[in-house]
Amino acid sequence: MPSTAGNVDVRGWPADVGVLAIEVYIPSQYVAQDELESYDGVSVGKYTVGLGQERMGFCSDCEDINSLCLTVVNMLMERNALDYRSIGRLEVGTETLVDKSKSVKTVLMQLFEESGNSDVEGIDTTNACYGGTAALFNAFSWVESSAWDGRYALVVAGDIAVYASGSARPTGGAGAVAMLVGPNAPLVLERGLRGTHMQHAYDFYKPDMQSEFPVVDGKLSIECYLNALDRCYSVYRRKAEAHWQKMGVNQRFSLDSLDYIIFHSPYCKLVQKSVARLALNDFLAAQHCNMPHHRYTGLDAFREVTLVDSYFDRDVEKAFMKASEDIFVQKTKPSLLISRQNGNMYTPSVYGCLASLLSQVPLQSLAGKTIGVFSYGSGMAASMFSFCVSADATPGSSLEKLVSSLSDLQTRLDNRHSVSSEEFSHIMELREKTHHMAPYTPQGRVDVLLPGTWYLVSVDEKHRRQYNRQPLQPLHDDAPTELSPTTSSIGHPLQAVGHVKKTSQSCLENPKPIALEGNGEH
Three-class secondary structure of residue 114 per DSSP: helix
The CA distances from residue 347 to 93, 126, 131, 159, 227, in Å, are: 6, 9, 6, 6, 19
Contact of 345 with 178, CB cutoff 8 Å: no
Distance separating alpha carbons of residues 203 and 436, to the nearest angstrom: 25
Contact of 393 with 401, CB cutoff 8 Å: no
Strand 260-263 relative to strand 370-377, pairing: parallel
Instruction: Please give the distance of CA 165 from its chain centroid, rounded to a whole number.
Output: 26
CA-nearest of 174, 155, 154 to 163 is: 174
Beta bridge partner(s), residue 356 = none
Peptide bond into 266 cis (omega under 30): no
Sign of CA pseudo-dihedral 249, 254, 259, 260:
positive
462 is in an annotated binding site: no
Across 196-221, b (16+ Cβ under 10 Å) vs e yields: bbeeebebbebeeeeebebebeeeeb
269 is in an annotated binding site: yes
Distance separating alpha carbons of residues 491 and 82, to the nearest angstrom: 9
Distance separating alpha carbons of residues 84 and 112, to the nearest angstrom: 6
Please report, as a single letter, which amino acid is at residue 467.
Answer: Y
Contact of 506 with 193, CB cutoff 8 Å: yes
CA atoms within 13 A of residue 247's CA, in its CB half-sphere = 15
Q: What are phi and psi of 288, to 5 degrees?
A: -75, -25
Q: What are phi and psi of 200, to 5 degrees?
A: -80, 130
Query: Which string of DSSP letters, residue by residue, matches 108-133?
Result: HGGGGGGGT----B--EE-BTBTHHH
Where helices occur in 247-292 by DSSP H, the ranges are 268-288
Instruction: Please give the distance of CA 426 from its chain centroid, rounded to a whole number.
Output: 29
Enumerate residues 6+ apart whose C-beta is below 8 A from 510: none
Peptide bond into 384 cis (omega under 30): no
CA-nearest of 325, 335, 232 to 281 is: 232
Query: Which string of DSSP letters, residue by residue, matches 315-361?
Result: HHHHHHHHHTHHHIIIIIGGGGHHHHHH---STTHHHHHHHHHHHHS
Contact of 389 with 367, CB cutoff 8 Å: yes
Distance separating alpha carbons of residues 304 and 320, to the nearest angstrom: 14
Enzyme catalytic residues: 95, 129, 264
Binding residues: 221, 269, 273
